[in-house]
Structure 1
Amino acid sequence: MAKDPIKKAKNGTYYFRANLGYDFTGKKIQKYRSGFTTKKEAREEYSKLILMKPEELSETKDKMMFEDYILEIFLPWYKTQVKLRTYENRLPSVNKHFPYFYKMAVSDIEPIHVQNWQLKLSKNLKSSYVRAVQGLFSIAMDRAIVLGITTTNPSKIIGNVKKQKPKIEFWTKEEFEKIISLIYKEDYYQHFLFISLWFLFMTGMRIGEAAAIQWEDIDFDSGVLTINKNLYYKNQTNYRFVEPKTKSSVRSIVLDEGTLNFLSEWKNIQQNLIKTNFVMSYNGIPTQKHTLAHAIDRYAKLAGVHRITIHGLRHSHASLLISMGENPLIIKDRLGHEDIQTTLGTYGHLYPNSNFEVANKLNGVITFKEAKQNYDSSPKNQFTVDYIRNKKIKIVQ
């Protein structure tokens, strides 16, 4: 039994996609129609297209509404193309910003419409976020071209907003010392906050990596921490381990003795109250980033230092290593970057005096005695002869 081509959209209207053979060039003919109030209306239009000749079909233009295309065609397809967490992270942006075009047909969206939308977004949003949203819109329009719903991608015609290098926010060693000195470890919850902030600052882990760390990932004998997973956290009952961000994210880093002592102390206190494998947990479930973000906000105000994001603790670790003179390659491996360009591109500006330091190190590094006679018996060229002659003349004078 053949599938019914008439589908019901989430907004209650009906739509269909009709496969109508091939045109004279051999190109597959597909037609989309949407926005029908009743299923009967949609079926009548579908039957009308079925009876049309190929040359007549080539003259008809699809007018699929952007809303129907996104909700019924693009999003179901896009969900199969990316990781589930990526889809769920980007879906809110689609639902928030794509409705700007929902009342337009896909084929009617022009560069001027995209430019106006781009300018509207740029008024209150960071350029990096606008670039990401427009990039997703561009993917949707490219897919519409593949499906024959439109012929051009207006987003690519006008281009994306200019990429701006983000400001790297971090705490210096002295600023972090002010923060950590205010956390009262005798209080169980504050002890949890202490170990969480310390763990992030001293390892440079991403929050998803740190939240996923289990006690068995820490070898207290060798001091090695194994990072091989991420934590996807939606709510207190919906969280799971997922693959790391990149292959380079799978890594092992050595913990300093102080951090190992703090972790051992926390493990004893934690395990006496709750049973959990999560290192960064005070109640048996992994911590969520909002908990730590609020803590950072509170203690930054108490300490009188500027507030940073949770990711800023990762930047702080990199900054600390740079201030200690560590090799960028070591920093790259510790942070789990895919290549050294990522490390230098992100933190290169934190080496403001590196050229002067290099110059100081190079000064006097080569020792030699100046030659007192000519050891080269090769033929002399004109410039050598003239130079020697002129030098002798000046000496005689």
Structure 2
Amino acid sequence: MATDSIKKAKNGTYYFRANLGYGSDGKKIQKYRSGFKTKREARKAYSQIILEKSEVVQRENWQEEEEELSFKQYVEEIFLPWYKSQVKDRTYDNRVSTIKKHLSYFYRYAVSEIEPIHVQTWQSKLFKTLSATYIRNVQGIFSLAMDRAVILGLAEQNPSKIVGNVKKQKTKIDFWTKEEFEQVLSVIYKEDYYQHFLYLSLWFLFMTGMRIGEATAVQWEDIEFDTGVLSITKTLYYKNLSYYEFVEPKTKASIRHIVLDEDTLKELKEWQQRQRSVVKTGFVMSYNGQPTQKHTMSRAITRYAALAGVHRIRTHALRHSHASLLMQMGENPLIIKDRLGHEDIETTLGTYGHLYPNSNFEVATKLTGILKQTSSQTNLDRSPKNQFTVGYLGEK
């Protein structure tokens, strides 16, 4: 079976010839299709024929070809089209390049040839440059691809499951303390319009704990200044300036209300007035009428962290910073869970529980002296004596 079966005709359309095996008379069985406007359409049709192959072989009593389906062809023509139909568009767009990059290690093999030793060698190679968490995610997709191959009869077993995924490691939570964030704010010049926008954006993220996609989607109409309530009902899927849209939040728990503090409301009102003098837009985090891109915040963090002399953090770490601040203030984990939009308390405690400052020592301090220390001056217990204690401590 050819590795690249899709061909381009002189008129710009695409065609393919699928070799399906041999009939009982020994003649080669082929299917030819042409006239596809795009290569993607041709691949979809080709994949469908390949998927139906086993049924046709059984019905027509054909003999299978000896040549095996390559993993590269399987990924590009069968797995990826199926995977795209199973996940959200933004999820597919975010992962497709990763899939092609890291799963290409197996392109040298046929689907049925991939063995556990190949997977283990691949893991070891990835460990040289990537984190355990990242490798777990990549292998999870590879395992999904092999599970699908087993279902389709292209492989007898999933070698990824035999080897097992890499051990899960607890990710170190990075964040800015209140003092570090104050240092960052101190080097931003709010009199400059663009720096004012960055000041407000960083403040907004730090003081609410929103995910970046949630924050960039916030509209002015989502904020009730009278009550101080911010409604989070959507997130922003940003592909480029020409294509972005509002989509459903990460989980049902992500749809929530956050009560804003007076200082944040003051900063927002100040920015709203400044923004309206320059551009008309519904986006809170915008200086030019367009939604803010993730890398805009990332670059700002890099620049001002260096000016302030504090360590650089990722944009998502501003969410961690908010959680850390609340825990240092002694807030109830259930309140933090709701504010961050976690689905369950286990997620909150599992991620941030260790950030409670010296909590065990504080508990010990609170327990000291809480009980009145008294004991009987006479023996009131006339029950039978324990054979091992007779003769000790005055017992007879």
TM over 0.5: yes
Q: CA deviation at 1:58?
A: 8.0
Superposed counterparts of 1:344-355, under 5 Å? 344-355=349-360
Partner SS for 1:80: helix
Which residue of the other structure, out of 224, 231, 237, is the alignment partner of 1:232? 237
Instruction: For residue 125 of structure 1, report the CA deviation from its aligned partner.
Output: 1.4
Q: Aligned residue for 1:317?
A: 322
CA contact (8 A) 1:9 1:72 kept: no
Instruction: Look up the match of 2:188.
Output: 183
Aligned partners of 1:200 and 1:314 also within 8 Å: yes
2:256 alignment counterpart: 251
Pairwise CA distance, 1:380: 2.7
Cα gap change, 1:53 to 1:266, in 2 (>3 Å) = closer
Query: Does 1:359 pair with 2:364?
Result: yes
Q: Secondary structure at the match of 2:237?
A: strand
The answer to whether the 8 A contact 2:21-2:63 is kept is no
Counterpart of 2:105?
Answer: 100
User: Which residue pairs with 1:161 in the alignment?
Assistant: 166
**Over residues 291-328 of structure 1, what are the superposed CA-to-partner deviations in whole Å (9 max), with x where a residue is unaligned?**
11001000011011100000010111111111111121
Q: Choose the corresponding residue for 2:204, options 181, 199, 202.
A: 199
* Equivalent residue, structure 1, for 2:6: 9
Q: Following superposition of structure 1 onto structure 2, how do residues 334-345 of structure 1 map, counting pairs within 5 Å?
A: 334-345=339-350
CA distance in 1, matches of 2:109, 2:380: 84
Partner of 1:116: 121
Cα offset for 1:68?
1.4
Deviation at 1:368, TM superposition (A): 7.2
CA distance in 2, matches of 1:106, 1:380: 75
CA-based RMSD: 3.4
Q: Name the stretch that deviates more: 283-292 or 123-132.
A: 123-132
Residue deviations 1:163-196 (CA, integer Å, cap 9, x gap): 2211111111111000001111110000000000
Letter in 2 for 1:317: H
Contact 1:9 1:68 in 2 (8 A): no
In 2: Cα distance, 1:247 partner to 1:261 partner: 30
Secondary structure of the 2:86 match is coil
In structure 1, the partner of 2:385 is: 382
Contact 2:208–2:319 at 8 Å: present in 1 too?
yes
Q: Deviations over 1:58-77 (max 9, x none)?
A: 88667111111111111111
Q: Shift in Å at residue 33 of structure 1?
A: 9.6
- 1:109: Cα distance to partner? 1.3
Find the residue that maps to 2:313 and give its secondary structure. coil
Structure 2 length-normalised TM = 0.83
The gaps in structure 2 that reach 5 residues or longer are 9-13, 23-28, 32-41
| Aligned-partner residue type, residue 134 of structure 1 | Q
Look up the match of 1:221: 226
Greater Cα shift, 297-306 or 55-64: 55-64
2:273 maps to 1:268: yes
Whether the 8 Å contact between 1:169 and 1:312 is mirrored in structure 2 is: yes
Residues in 2 aligned to 1:77 and 1:19: alpha-carbon distance in whole angstroms: 24
Could you list the runs of 5+ residues in structure 1 that have no partner in the other structure?
1-6, 21-31
Range moving further from structure 2, 237-246 or 55-64:
55-64
